Structure 1
Amino acid sequence: MAKYQIYLVRHGRTWFNRYNKMQGWSDTPLAPDGVEVAKQAAKALKDVDFAAAFSSDARRAIDTCKLIVDENINHNKITPQKLMEFREEFYGYFEGMNSPEAWYMVGKPHGADTFAEIIAQHGMDATKDFMKEADPFHDAENAEEYWTRVEKGFDKIDKIAKDGDKILLVSHGTTIRSITDRYNDGGFDITVSPKNSSLTMLERDNGANKVTSYNQMLN
């Protein structure tokens, strides 16, 4: 195994982001301002010597990744690859619902009215477990199901990455927040969501993760 860096970028702003709706495995395109902020990220990262580029298999992540790779100094050497393991959390019954309403329904039985309150009072993994519990179909991912999936994604990158590599990975807000919470090395405030097209830095050393920066704006 190797020691390498992952440049973890959230996708550009989408229509569901604009309307503040739950967007897990559901997908909407990048909104015009989402394309522009992704292009800003691409310019900021254009001189990074990426050895490989990955995104989740959601269109919003694929499109953001392509914008960044097309601008990069290595655009002729790397081809973006899709990893479904880095999809957003699956919200089950709550997909597409207004976010404040969904999190109120999920958190209220546990004494929390908002997503941030659930995180502050019970922790990030509890948001997943509470959501599966509140889902009348119980289709939403709980923490165990979610992390089993994500860890398989890291294992796949391990098979490609070499010592010293810089890897681009375009993923999603709750996924980046969850990774930061679990592998936090800087006391980052994960009650604040990473902004669209922001950068979070992760060091992976022989299978061990360490997040070294969170939610940096690229402009």
Structure 2
Amino acid sequence: MARVTLYLVRHGQTYFNIYNKLQGWSNSPLTAMGIADAKGAGQRLAEIRFAAAYCSDTTRAQQTAAMILAANTLSNQVSPLSSPFFREQFYGSFEGENMNYVWDQVGRPHGLNGFKAIEEKYSIAKAKDLMKEADPFHDAESNDEYWARIDRGFDLIRNNADLDDDDNVLVISHGNTLLSLMERYGQGKFDLSERPANGSVTRLLLDDQQITVLGYNEK
């Protein structure tokens, strides 16, 4: 495959972001600020020529992708490919619940209060497994289930025969996914206590062997 640079943009702010609700496979509309987030990212990336674009099949990601590409006159032949492989982590029966409440429920059996305490004692990866354990339906994605799906998204890009070395690819991503990528590939170089901002850009170098982080949460 080609060696390409991925520009991962966190979708614009949504109402569930404002309400502090878990929003994985569930969805809520972009706010006025969320539209501004997307348009701002579009302005910052307007001079980047994208050879392809991908996003999850949630409307918040699709709308963000559309606004970024609309501002980019160098990529006017590119249409985003939507796929469930690029969705955020699935939170199972906790979808749409208050974020602080859920992470307290997840951490309490282990003597921990909240996501930060779980992440500090264990990891973001372990937090996924603990959520699956705490979910009464056990539908929340485990760490292995999550990465099996996300890796299929990267393989979708790797298998794009139209991409050439040094091409740029736009990917609309999600907050916890970006944190998870930094934990897995960031080699401890990035502050994971700071959530990526809506509309921020994270850059990865992707080839057939590995993923290398070039930049995180750039605004």
Verify same fold: TM over 0.5.
yes
Name the aligned partner's letter for residue 202 of structure 2: T
1:145 deviation in Å?
0.3
Match of 2:195 among 184, 193, 196: 193
Q: Greater CA deviation, 15-24 or 178-187?
A: 178-187
Q: What corresponds to 2:94 in structure 1?
A: 94
Name the aligned partner's letter for residue 93 of structure 1: S
**CA distance in 2 between partners of 1:213 and 1:186 (Å):** 13
1:169 deviation in Å?
0.1
Q: What corresponds to 1:128 in structure 2?
A: 128
**CA distance in 2 between partners of 1:176 and 1:4 (Å):** 18
Q: What corresponds to 1:119 in structure 2?
A: 119
Q: What corresponds to 1:59 in structure 2?
A: 59
**CA distance in 2 between partners of 1:112 and 1:203 (Å):** 36
Q: Tell me the secondary structure at the aligned position of residue 117 of structure 1.
A: helix
Q: Greater CA deviation, 135-144 or 191-200?
A: 191-200
Name the aligned partner's letter for residue 206 of structure 1: D
Name the aligned partner's letter for residue 61 of structure 1: A
Name the CA shift for 1:21/1:79 in 2 (closer, same or farther; >3 Å): same
What do the CA deviations read for 1:133-161 (whole angstroms, capped 9, x no partner)?
00000000000100000001100101113
Unaligned runs of 5+ in 2: none
What do the CA deviations read for 1:97-127 (whole angstroms, capped 9, x no partner)?
0000001111122232121221111011111
Match of 2:176 among 174, 177, 184: 174
Match of 1:203 among 182, 202, 205: 205
**CA distance in 1 between partners of 2:194 and 2:109 (Å):** 22
Q: Tell me the secondary structure at the aligned position of residue 74 of structure 1.
A: helix
Q: Are the aligned partners of 1:11 and 1:196 in contact in 2 as well (CA < 8 Å)?
A: yes
How many residues are aligned here? 217
Q: Are the aligned partners of 1:129 and 1:143 in contact in 2 as well (CA < 8 Å)?
A: yes
Check if 1:108 corresponds to 2:104: no
Q: Are the aligned partners of 1:119 and 1:191 in contact in 2 as well (CA < 8 Å)?
A: no
Name the aligned partner's letter for residue 168 of structure 1: L
1:128 deviation in Å?
0.4
**CA distance in 1 between partners of 2:210 and 2:159 (Å):** 14
Q: What corresponds to 2:159 in structure 1?
A: 159
**CA distance in 1 between partners of 2:86 and 2:120 (Å):** 24
1:57 deviation in Å?
0.7
**CA distance in 1 between partners of 2:201 and 2:188 (Å):** 15
Q: Are the aligned partners of 2:186 and 2:212 in contact in 1 as well (CA < 8 Å)?
A: yes
Q: Greater CA deviation, 198-207 or 91-100?
A: 198-207
Q: Are the aligned partners of 1:41 and 1:198 in contact in 2 as well (CA < 8 Å)?
A: yes
Q: Tell me the secondary structure at the aligned position of residue 203 of structure 1.
A: strand
Q: Are the aligned partners of 1:200 and 1:215 in contact in 2 as well (CA < 8 Å)?
A: yes
1:186 deviation in Å?
5.8
**CA distance in 2 between partners of 1:183 and 1:73 (Å):** 32
What do the CA deviations read for 1:70-121 (whole angstroms, capped 9, x no partner)?
1112342111111210100000011000000001111122232121221111
Q: What corresponds to 1:38 in structure 2?
A: 38
Q: Tell me the secondary structure at the aligned position of residue 201 of structure 1.
A: strand
**CA distance in 2 between partners of 1:210 and 1:111 (Å):** 35
Alpha-carbon RMSD: 1.1
Q: Are the aligned partners of 1:56 and 1:170 in contact in 2 as well (CA < 8 Å)?
A: yes
Name the CA shift for 1:208/1:32 in 2 (closer, same or farther; >3 Å): same
